[in-house]
Amino acid sequence: MDISIEGISKTFGETTALESVDLSVPSGRLATLLGASGCGKTTLLRIVAGFETADTGAIRFGERDIAKVPVWKRRIGFVFQSYALWPHMTVAENVAYGLRLRKLSKEAVADKVAAGLAMVGLTGRERHRPGQLSGGQQQRVALARALALEPDVLLMDEPLSNLDARLRVEMRREIRRIQQETGITAVYVTHDQDEALEISDLVAVMNGGRVEQIGAPEDVYERPGTTFVASFVGSVTLLRGQVTDDGELALPSGGKVGFGRPLGQAGAAVHVALRPEDLRIVENGQAQFTGKVVRSSFQGSSRESVAELPGGELLSFEHRRPLPTGATVGLAADRFTVIGQDTGVA
């Protein structure tokens, strides 16, 4: 069932939480709403669920306009950050609860509960209470409960925020597996860019109540359309400057850098976004940038260092061998993105 969100706006008193948001999620895909605290992602999810009403705009599930449809008739499954399980019920009772309300036969309920728990890897835990399970297991129960009712749409609000880092990685892969196996259309709220890049078909990067960019994870990472998106998704250096007559970048500090092709129209104010992994240490003659290493951090599989250019700009780059602070390095960019739209940095 595809989801179509058109022109959704919402204010709370003086606060504009959402401003004319459009988003389409094709059937069977997982879209994440990614952004910093307060950007409006939870509000948007709650509007899709029906917990909140929009001031303007339309939401459709397939052909069905759901603006006036109450939550319980929207055929959604919702997974909360806090799990929201009933502590006095067993795991099986939690998953069965909604099914019982639907007046299914005892056998049908038992079958669906068993299938749901098998899907999330909790067979054998039927009689446990939520308090006897780990956070990750509790979230699996919540997921099984949401999916047991065979909703058209699965909505998840920061479902992994209460888990430790390792479990978060494991659980996000589980969520993606289950979403793909069931083929359900899903919207997932997170502030964690790694999570969004790993599990999504589509990432909607939000900033100040607006969607700044929607695209496949690779698009958003490799071709950010605004300075905010470039800086929020992944590590980046943004070099601000003006395009010279010969298509190079004139830095405010007076330096000039060529990138092998014209950066745009002469005189245009642009940012050039450089990912650390796209910069390479080169011999002096081939360097686009020459700078002094001001810090270096070991990150296991690689190192990330920062070079200060003569005009004071700081450039992050990835490399393998240790580099002493103070060393002079020549760098060249294998890839870069020219960004015309300055929406600030995250």
Ligand X SMILES: Nc1ncnc2c1ncn2[C@@H]1O[C@H](COP(=O)(O)OP(=O)(O)OP(=O)(O)O)[C@@H](O)[C@H]1O
Q: Which residues bind ligand X (CB under 6 A)?
A: 12, 15, 17, 35, 37-43, 191
Given a contact cutoff of 8 angstroms between Cβ atoms, the answer to whether 168 and 200 are in contact is no
Shortest CB 41 distance to ligand X, Å: 4
In this complex, which beta carbon is closest to ligand X, that of residue 206 or of residue 339? 206
Shortest CB 111 distance to ligand X, Å: 37
In this complex, which beta carbon is closest to ligand X, that of residue 161 or of residue 242? 161
In this complex, which beta carbon is closest to ligand X, that of residue 37 or of residue 299? 37
* Tokens 């990614």 -> residue: 34
Shortest CB 245 distance to ligand X, Å: 43
In this complex, which beta carbon is closest to ligand X, that of residue 197 or of residue 251? 197
Shortest CB 190 distance to ligand X, Å: 9
In this complex, which beta carbon is closest to ligand X, that of residue 17 or of residue 239? 17
In this complex, which beta carbon is closest to ligand X, that of residue 13 or of residue 131? 13
CB burial class (10 A; 0-12, 13-18, 19+) of residue 100? exposed
The closest residue (CB) to ligand X is: 42
Shortest CB 39 distance to ligand X, Å: 4
Task: Estimate to the nearest angstrom the gap between the alpha carbon of 310 and the chain centroid.
Answer: 35
In this complex, which beta carbon is closest to ligand X, that of residue 56 or of residue 297? 56
Shortest CB 254 distance to ligand X, Å: 40
What are all long-range contacts of 333-336, with beta carbons under 8 Å and residues at least 24 apart? Answer: 333/259, 333/274, 333/278, 333/279, 333/280, 333/288, 334/278, 334/279, 334/280, 335/222, 335/275, 335/278, 336/259, 336/272, 336/273, 336/274, 336/278
In this complex, which beta carbon is closest to ligand X, that of residue 199 or of residue 339? 199
What are all long-range contacts of 218-222, with beta carbons under 8 Å and residues at least 24 apart? Answer: 221/197, 222/335, 222/337
CB-based contacts of 307, cutoff 8 Å, min separation 6: 289, 291, 292, 293, 294, 314, 315, 317, 329, 331
Shortest CB 289 distance to ligand X, Å: 36
Shortest CB 83 distance to ligand X, Å: 17
The CA distance from 115 to 132, in Å, is 21
Give the 3-state secondary structure of residue 301: coil
**What is the bridge-based pairing of β-strands 249-250 and 237-243?**
antiparallel
The CA distance from 335 to 101, in Å, is 56
Q: What are phi and psi of 179, to 5 degrees?
A: -60, -40
The CA distance from 24 to 139, in Å, is 27
Q: What are phi and psi of 22, to 5 degrees?
A: -115, 140
